[in-house]
Amino acid sequence: MAQGKETADERYARGLATLEHALGDAGINHVKAFAGTAPELARLIVEFPYGDIYSRPGLDAKTRQIVTISALAALGNAAPQLRVHIFGALNVGVAKDEIIEIFMQLAVYAGFPAALNAILAAKEVFAEWDSRNVSTNIL
C-alpha cells in the first residue's frame, strides 16, 4: 500500500517491525520508557523515524546506524539515544572497531569532547553487549 493511503495502524506496524529489526530490545525498551508518560510521543517515535524513514529502501540498516551514531555523537547532548543506537549498530553488524573508528573521525569535525564522550558511551555499551553474550544479527 502506498504510504499516503495507509492507515495509522499499518504505518505503526511497519515502524515497529523496522525498530525491532534495527535496534532489537534496546530500541523497544527505549520506546516503552516513554509509553506511560507520553504515549503519543512513543507512537510518533515508532511511526516517523522507523515507519517512514528507516524503512525507506535507499540505505541498508548498517549504513543507517552509522549515520545515526555519527549524528548523535556530533550533537554531544544525546547520550541516551547514542547508547541505544550503538546497540543498534552492533545489532546490524557494525563491528566494535568500526564504531570506535567512526568516533575517532568525529573528533576532526565535531571536536574532541564529542568524540571522547561517544567513545565512553561505546565502552559502556560494549561491556553490556558482551555481558549479554548477544550474537550479532547481520542483515
How crowded is residue 131: how many other Cβ atoms within 10 Å of its Cβ? Answer: 8
Question: Environment class of residue 2 by beta-carbon count within 10 Å: exposed (0-12), middle (13-18) or buried (19+)?
Answer: exposed
pLDDT bucket at 110, cuts 50 / 70 / 90: very high
- Percent of the chain topping pLDDT 90: 73
Of 32, 25, 18, which is closest to residue 128 (Cα–Cα)? 25
Sequence ranges of the domains in the chain: 1-58, 59-139
- Percent of the chain topping pLDDT 70: 92
Looking at domain 59-139, its CATH architecture is Up-down Bundle (1.20)
Cα distances (angstroms) measured from residue 84 to each of 11, 19, 50: 22, 11, 14
Look over the chain and give the mean of its residue pLDDT values, rounded to a whole number.
Answer: 90
User: pTM above 0.75?
Assistant: yes
How crowded is residue 29: how many other Cβ atoms within 10 Å of its Cβ? Answer: 12
